[in-house]
Amino acid sequence: MRFVDIVVSSSQGEKKMFECQYCNAKFKSERTLMVHVCEPKRRWMNKDEKYSRLAFYAFNRFYELTHAVGKPIDFDMFAKSKFYIGFTKFGKHIININAINPEEFIDFVIQNSVKLDKWTSDLVYNTYIQELNRKESADRAVERSILLMQKWGEEYERPFNKFFKEVSKPLAIHYIKSGRISPWVIFNSDNGAELIDSFSDEELVLINDYLEPSFWTRKFNARVEDVQFVKMILNKAGI
């Protein structure tokens, strides 16, 4: 129990002093100790915040994947690590950008030997998204994209299958750039293809790196059965 405050006696054994177990500062009253906040205590108090849990998970994965430490890692080791700030910044970043499959994203930055201070850069996330889109199976891509359409439908109170016809262009660009809507679905739906056709040259420049038309043309030619499957699902759903 880390939050049990330790009561210590002074050297004379008369006047009681209250010591912060995180930074060892001493206080005359227990109340002062209770309201006292120092950086080590703050790290422990925020232990169960989502960003902190993600950061601690990433810290663990880092040592697991790089085999840097043989023993199990506890939170104390993390809280005292010089990398604490870098990892928690990354935890907050994952939440801010609402990263797809956070665990996979964490493994991605570690396995690609990205330097910790670059983990929060847009370029790194975009590369991750491109790779995720490229590697993802067709059925998973369809499932994920339809879930997004349903979320959109709830928010705008529209049937989800009107997504490609009615989504605003800026929002569509945002979804494409953040990898939320898979090329599997965009290119294999007539309405999706029409949406792409409706973009201006300037808008296409913004999304081309994410859509990678030549990559997907090659992929679709090699995966005819998957393409048929995707088209069948999208047709049935009226997307």
CB of 123 to Zn ion, least distance (A): 38
Contacts of 87 (CB under 8 A, 6+ apart): 55, 56, 58, 59, 78, 81, 116
Nearer to Zn ion, 10 or 32 (CB): 32
> Smallest distance, Å, CB 79 to Zn ion?
12
33 touching Zn ion, by CB under 5 A: no
Binding segment for Zn ion (CB under 5 A), chosen from 17-25, 139-147, 159-167, 169-177, is 17-25
Q: Which of 6, 7, 8, 23 binds Zn ion (CB under 5 A)?
A: 23
Nearer to Zn ion, 3 or 215 (CB): 3
Token code pair at residue 91? 């935890």
**Smallest Cα–Cα separation from 181: which of 225, 221, 133?**
133
Tell me 72's DSSP state.
P
Q: What is the smallest separation between the CB atom of 96 and Zn ion, expressed in angstroms?
A: 29
What totals of helices (H) and strands (E) does the chain contain, helices first? 15, 3
Secondary structure class of 205 (helix, strand, coil): helix
Among 18, 20, 176, 234, binds Zn ion (CB under 5 A): 20
Whichever of 7 and 95 has its CB closer to Zn ion, that residue is 7
Rounded distance between C-alpha atoms, residue 161 and residue 168, angstroms: 14
CB of 15 to Zn ion, least distance (A): 20
Binds Zn ion (CB under 5 A): choice among 8, 38, 69, 205:
38
Tell me which residue of 85, 81, 79, 135 sits closest to 107, measured CA to CA.
Answer: 135
- Told to check if 97 binds Zn ion by CB under 5 A, we report no
22 near Zn ion, rule: CB under 5 A = yes
Residues 6+ apart with CB under 8 A from 172: 181, 195
Q: Is 216 in the site for Zn ion (CB under 5 A)?
A: no
CB of 35 to Zn ion, least distance (A): 11
Report which residue type is found at 38.
Answer: C
Residue 4 has phi, psi (to 5 degrees) of -75, 120
* Positions in the binding site for Zn ion (CB under 5 A): 20, 22-23, 25, 38, 41
